[in-house]
């Protein structure tokens, strides 16, 4: 069997393995093996040259993946602010809240809340909108 075809077969097997074992590492090894096999089918290469081509293609793939990862915006999944900013809720008076400090009820859950400095805590429930999230504290403003 041709050495180039063996490289291509190994690359395809690595790409299939990536589907079964996701992790993004086997993709770059598989693509480097495919490129090495294609180049070896086009030209007769010595063993040292084949290893060099494979390592250069693997390094280029890893460099590309790091560049793409750095360019991607961070995911906002599973963070408190991802679904709460912009939502409305009821700011509970200090006596009604279960925990210390201000609390806001959004849906069926209560969150710690903070009002801007110019607004004081209400004596009755007040409808508010979430402006921002700092940790697990919601920054709210009256609607």
- Give residue-wise pLDDT tens across range 113-131: 888 766 666 667 888 898 8
CB-CB contact of 11 with 31 (8 Å): yes
In a domain, 42, yes or no: yes
Q: CB pairs under 8 A, 24+ apart, for 79-83?
A: 79/133, 80/111, 80/133, 80/135, 80/136, 80/138, 81/132, 81/133
Query: In whole angstroms, what is the distance from residue 117 CA to residue 55 CA?
Result: 59
In a domain, 45, yes or no: yes
Q: Domain range spanning residue 56?
A: 3-71
CB-CB contact of 57 with 63 (8 Å): no
Domain boundary among 50, 71, 92: 71
| 100 & 47 share domain | no
Question: Model pTM?
Answer: 0.53
Q: Please tell me the total count of domains within the chain.
A: 2
Give pLDDT, residue 81. Answer: 63
The bridge status of strand 126-134 relative to strand 103-106 is: unpaired
């Amino acid at each position: 069997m041709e050495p180039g075809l063996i490289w291509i077969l190994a690359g395809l097997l690595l790409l299939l393995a990536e589907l079964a074992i996701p992790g993004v590492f086997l993709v770059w090894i598989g693509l480097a093996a495919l490129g090495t096999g294609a180049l070896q089918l086009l030209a007769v290469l010595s063993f040292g040259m084949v290893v060099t081509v494979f390592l250069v293609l693997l390094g280029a793939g890893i460099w590309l993946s790091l560049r793409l990862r750095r360019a991607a915006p961070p995911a906002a999944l599973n963070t408190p602010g991802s679904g709460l900013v912009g939502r409305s809720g009821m700011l509970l008076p200090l006596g009604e809240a279960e925990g210390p400090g201000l609390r806001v009820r959004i849906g069926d859950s209560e969150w710690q809340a903070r009002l801007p400095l110019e607004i004081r805590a209400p004596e009755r429930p007040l409808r508010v909108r979430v402006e921002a999230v700092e940790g697990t504290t919601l920054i709210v403003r009256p609607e």
